[in-house]
Amino acid sequence: MNKDYQKRYKASYKQKNKIVTFPLSNIFYEELRKRSVYYDMSVNSFTKNIVTDFLNNDTTSLLTTDRLLLIGEYIRISRSIANNINQIAHKTNIDETIDRNVLINSLKHYEDEFKKFISKS
């Protein structure tokens, strides 16, 4: 019974999947190996990700955790700035006065945040 299950599984797998093999020069293989270590993947898994991401036109899964965190921080800072600009525009549109010191300090704070952010990347 175990052998029948394995035969059915293999047949089903071969119907749904194709194995691709191709020669690769040692230089390119070594580069793939180094990069796969960086992403903590096997060479085959890394190569499969590259190909499938390319075909799906999606590169986000190949971003390192550090890069994803950096992008998240950039988005957070950008949204904070956009939110403050919207609040200022709203107050201006309803003829409220804006405290210039608060505005300048807020802009200075975001400038400092971006400087810290840029120095990390």
pLDDT tens sequence across 43-95: 999 999 988 888 887 655 667 777 778 888 888 888 888 887 788 777 777 77
- CA-CA distance, 62 to 106, in Å (whole number)? 35
Q: Are 20 and 28 in contact (CB under 8 A)?
A: no
- CA-CA distance, 19 to 6, in Å (whole number)? 18
Q: Are residues 85 and 56 in the same domain?
A: no
- CA-CA distance, 6 to 106, in Å (whole number)? 65
Q: 13, 30, 62: which is the final residue of a domain? A: 62
Q: Are residues 71 and 21 in the same domain?
A: no
pTM as predicted: 0.42
Q: Are residues 69 and 114 in the same domain?
A: yes
Q: 40, 62, 84: which is the final residue of a domain? A: 62
- pLDDT tens for 37-54 read 988 999 999 999 988 888
Tokens read off for 68? 């994803």
What domain range includes position 34? 2-62
Q: Are residues 82 and 93 in the same domain?
A: yes
Number of domains in the chain: 2
Q: Are residues 49 and 15 in the same domain?
A: yes
